Amino acid sequence: MTVLSVEGLSKTFDMHVLGDTQVVGLDDVSFDVREGEFLAVVGESGSGKSSLLKCLYRTYDPTAGRVRYRGGDGEIDLASCGDRTVMNLRADAIGYAAQFLDEIPRVPAADVVARPLIEGGQPVARARERARELLSALRVPEELWDAYPATFSGGERQRVNLAQALAPKPGLLLLDEPTSALDPETRRAAIDLLDSYLGDSTTVVGVFHNSGVVEAVADRVVVLDDGQVRAVVPAAEYDGGGLG
């Protein structure tokens, strides 16, 4: 079953500071993702990988195109659905780990993790409980749970991001280079947690730079180039960027 159909997705940025020029982030991107599939998104720096995930999570409003998501009940166009629907999906269906943790001043790590749940209407106590459970599983030292991520190391921030993404027990998980700053041992713990956590029906769209990780985890690979889809290939045929 197809869970996600991305159809003609485009994102242009109006750069008012640059005399109203436009920067193209995504240009007419289309692909499908099947239920339970692990789809890797690769491509050079600036090719649009993060913009793609942000459009799927609706951190960015796409300029054009549709994102048909078949979640629990019925089909929703993630590109155009209302903000309330977006909030609800973030609380119980779609998880997102950003490439860089957005600085939210004076919000403790546990609350960063619990935030999508609380904003989607889950009880605060239960959301915090869930946050602590995940921070513990990802080996974030307990004394940091109530501290501000602004002072955290890159790897600690990445684990806060990953915990936030896993918090809603998502059917669709969007990961933007979730393990790039982790040392091998912590990366292994994070990937093990992902493995143990991901059910057969969890669908993942993940951006990865490391082709070893792509080979280890992905079913198919979408290659982006300059905002466009260059190729969609089975992971076994992906040769780590030598596609052109």
Ligand X SMILES: Nc1ncnc2c1ncn2[C@@H]1O[C@H](COP(=O)(O)OP(=O)(O)OP(=O)(O)O)[C@@H](O)[C@H]1O
CB of 122 to Mg ion, least distance (A): 29
43 binds ligand X (CB under 6 A): yes
Question: Torsions phi, psi of 108, nearest 5?
Answer: -65, 155
Tell me how far, at minimum, the Cβ of 63 lies from ligand X, in Å.
12
Q: Which of 4, 27, 39, 49 binds ligand X (CB under 6 A)?
A: 49
* Nearer CB in complex with ligand X: 48/120: 48
Residue 116 Cβ, how far from ligand X at the closest point, in Å? 21
Confirm or reject binding of residue 51 to ligand X (CB under 6 A): yes
161 binds, among ligand X, Mg ion, none (CB under 5 to 8 A by kind): none
Name which position in 50, 122, 186, 202 contacts Mg ion (CB under 5 A): 50
Residues 6+ apart with CB under 8 A from 14: 20, 22
| Cα(219)–Cα(31) distance, integer angstroms | 14
Which residue's Cβ has the minimum distance to Mg ion?
Answer: 50
Q: By CB under 6 A, what part of segment 193-222 binds ligand X?
A: none
Q: In the complex, what is the shortest distance from the CB of residue 139 to ligand X, in angstroms, rounded to a whole number? A: 25
Residues 131-150 that bind Mg ion (CB under 5 A): none
Alpha-carbon 117 to chain mean position: 16
Instruction: Give the C-alpha separation, 4 to 205, whole Å.
Output: 10
Residue among 45, 43, 57, 44 at smallest CA distance from 6: 57
Site for ligand X in 84-103 (CB under 6 A): 99
Closest CA to 35 of 179, 198, 155, 200: 200
Q: Which is nearer to Mg ion, 50 or 161 (CB)?
A: 50
Binding-site string for Mg ion from residue 93 to residue 132, where x marks contact by CB under 5 A and - marks none: ------x---------------------------------
Site for ligand X in 3-22 (CB under 6 A): 13
